Structure 1
């Protein structure tokens, strides 16, 4: 049996689901694009090819092996994008939540059913249908659960709006002893530089007291200021609009002092090293073209 345990974003990782780019399917049509960044690359003819994405994910896999992390992979579905494991579920404490994702993606959950079957069935939860919440919007930090959402009245018109108010309230009711703090994120269907698809596209904690943040990813300045006050401005690395577009906040922590980052994130990686982090730099720029990066392609199950 798998004894799940996730209480934060950075404790020593022991077990994780890493998505897969094998048999990823053809380049989507314009109508099939889920986000503005994929759309941009479809239109430009620069959408990533499977062989390159498989290579990138293999390098990530090898980093996990180096740190002796147990890695699970989804079962392969023919011609199907299974890279972003973070969207389909998440663990809080010892409970696994299945996401109510976009209907087209339901099969991604089936592909990890063999892992879910190893969990205590009483610890596996499927929220009611009206509850929309994806793992990229859920972040644990000590007594806090941070949740990205979109509160615009046009929520239903945005395929980039992934977690609704019902999702926030569901987690609040489920964890009455934790402080659930929601963040209203900026969304765009057409401009990837102004679209925070999930909370981890504009904020992520690293180490024990630091974080990476993009101020303009938040619709309300008060939400940004809340994080500045909580972490302290000197502990936050502020990224630019362009760095946010390239997903600089979407790194992944294997331990409090070990961060996996994209090799092109020069400014960020230098800052991390200057703050005592070991930075495992890997190539992930092809996968980034689908508006997801390192955190998006992982689903942590056990941390110490």
Structure 2
């Protein structure tokens, strides 16, 4: 397999899409990894397997419509395998295994049938102290945008997933790239104030556009840097509630085609105004676990 990922929006050719089959049902409150899941466990509104399987199948159909090669993980019994973006990511021709929460190690084994097609020299595991998840990593040409959390209380946040050791490790791995890190707002208790990953508050779209939620950034200067980088006229600012519903977590099939949640009315209207085809799917049940379309896809090859 010839891996190739240099940005978020070039024409997609191959991707790993997660699976909701046998996801294990509603977890115990003590097992929740994020505040949004906790909220729905408490309220008795945690998503049901059949609803999430249906939502993910809708995405698979769209990907197949555009002739994208879709890989799925091997189904593990009673195990949540929806968010493949967490477990690994591709930059250029390198497949980088994430150092994720220890409870989730089996997820990577479930895509060994994909990893076996990649030359061993291109598979990279970062040092153990470098914590990282794919939702925090965004290649953008010569740049690499990385979400992190600078605070000394990093270890107190189960929602802090990528640390500064990982940012440094990526800079060493890709010395020709400009690695730009962003200090994200974290909360273990309030999902509206928690940017679990960078893609929960920011994502490039189209040729030169971006979706941004200002409140996801702890440092205003870093948010402003992004706005200046893309140009204010090219930025779609989402609200706190839209961020909570995961509006920045759509997924690009090409510069002019995206998959988006059907209830994202304001965003989808704006995208169409930019000349982008919006393939709408239902994904509101999966969103209850604080992840959406980008989180459940692991792109392998883009043009």
Distance 1:120 1:126 in 2: 14
Deviation at 1:128, TM superposition (A): 1.1
Query: Following the alignment from structure 2 to structure 1, what is the Cα–Cα distance between the partners of residues 256 and 37?
Result: 32
Distance in 2 (CA, whole Å) between partners of 1:301 and 1:176 is: 21
- After TM superposition, the structure 1 = structure 2 runs for residues 134-173 of structure 1, keeping only pairs within 5 Å, are 134-173=133-172
Q: Which runs of 4+ in 1 moved over 4 A?
A: none
- In structure 1, how many angstroms separate the alpha carbons of the residues matched to 2:127 and 2:233? 41
SS at 2:151 equivalent: coil
Structure 1 equivalent of residue 41 of structure 2: 42
By how many angstroms is 1:76 displaced? 0.7
Deviations 1:180-210 (A, max 9, x none): 0000000000000000000000000001100
2:252 aligned with 1:253, yes or no?
yes
Aligned residues: 303
- Where does residue 131 of structure 1 map in the other structure? 130
Shift of 1:142: 1.2
After superposition, where does 1:31-70 map in structure 2 within 5 Å?
31-70=30-69
TM-score for both structures, normalised by structure 2: 1.00
Which residue matches 2:270?
Answer: 271
Q: How does 1:16-31 map to 2 (within 5 A)?
A: 16-31=15-30
Cα distance in 2 for residues equivalent to 1:101 and 1:111 = 15
Describe the superposition over 1:18-59 as per-residue Cα deviations: whole angstroms up to 9, x where unpaired.
000000112001100000000000000000000000000000
What SS does the corresponding residue of 1:216 show, helix, strand or coil? helix
1:94 and 2:93 correspond = yes
Please report how far the alpha carbon of residue 99 of structure 1 lies from its aligned counterpart in structure 2 after TM superposition.
Answer: 0.4
- In the other structure, the counterpart of 1:196 is 195
Alpha-carbon distance in structure 1 between the residues aligned to 2:201 and 2:13: 26
Q: Which residues in structure 2 correspond to 1:200-219 (within 5 Å)?
A: 200-219=199-218
* CA distance in 2: counterparts of 1:98 and 1:108, whole angstroms: 11
Q: What CA distance in whole angstroms lies between the structure 1 residues aligned with 2:226 and 2:25?
A: 40
1:300 aligns with 2:299: yes
- What TM-score do you get using the length of structure 1 for normalisation? 0.99
**Stretches of structure 2 lacking an aligned partner (at least 5 in a row):** none
TM-superposed CA distance for 1:223, in Å, is: 0.5
Instruction: State the match for 2:282 in structure 1.
Output: 283
Alpha-carbon shift at residue 114 of structure 1 (Å): 1.2
Counterparts of 1:217-256 in structure 2 under 5 Å?
217-256=216-255
Which runs of 5 or more residues in structure 1 are unaligned? Answer: none
2:119 corresponds to 1:120: yes
Partners of 2:44 and 2:209 lie apart in 1 by 38
Give the SS at the match of 1:237. Answer: strand
* Alpha-carbon distance in structure 2 between the residues aligned to 1:230 and 1:190: 32
